[in-house]
Homo-oligomer: A and B are copies of this chain.
């Protein structure tokens, strides 16, 4: 019984790379690819793969949503995230939404096969170890609340506390409180460092 593999990624060369890696594998059947959410939907109406390799950031921006949907509609279909580095928060988000793990785009053929095998056994595959062993510094994003995120985004847009307060119908001191907890949670000395770290960690 072959494992049906489908891939969703907006980079043709990555699709081609994975296809090339998997094409001679006896246990794997290449079902095709989609380069956006819409065509992935279209495919799933026709046929269900065993596993979907899914880029964590698609042009539609809703890779996380897609993962959630797939897992809800078709619980038998496993999702394995495909990512580059410094996308830890996005990956976490994807796993929270039902992905069975993720694999880095610079993984070797062996790692890829290992990941597919592991996931098909119902286990999860995380290559955090590989990521951690890289020198690339991964700023892990702190957990922030809905309100804090909302305010963080407005700060990044350049609004002052007064403007944010007006927009959200809250007082300036309140905005300030959230701002301070953001600074603390991110370990940032000031707004500049805050926005910089938030950007790097993928929240913005």
Binding site for B on A (CB under 8 A): 10-21, 35, 59, 84-85, 105-109, 134-136, 155-158, 160, 188-196, 199-200, 204
The residue in chain B whose Cβ has the minimal distance to the Cβ of A107 is B12
The residue in chain B whose Cβ has the minimal distance to the Cβ of A134 is B59
- A106 near B13 with CB under 8 A, answer yes
- Please name all residues of chain B whose beta carbon is closer than 8 Å to the beta carbon of A156 when the two chains form the complex: 192-193, 195-196
* 6 A–B pairs (Cβ distance < 8 Å), ordered by A: A11-B106, A13-B18, A16-B109, A158-B189, A195-B195, A196-B199
- B190 near A160 with CB under 8 A, answer yes
- A106 near B196 with CB under 8 A, answer no
Q: Could you say which of B13, B84, B105, B191 contacts A192, with CB atoms under 8 Å apart?
A: B191
- Please name all residues of chain B whose beta carbon is closer than 8 Å to the beta carbon of A105 when the two chains form the complex: 11-14
- Smallest CB-CB A-B distances: 6 pairs: A17-B17, A158-B193, A20-B20, A199-B199, A16-B17, A13-B17
CB proximity of A113 to chain B, nearest CB, Å: 13
Q: How far is the CA of A13 from the CA of B80 in the complex (A)?
A: 15
The residue in chain B whose Cβ has the minimal distance to the Cβ of A154 is B192
Of A20, A21, A194, which is in contact with the most chain B CB atoms at under 10 Å from its CB?
Answer: A20
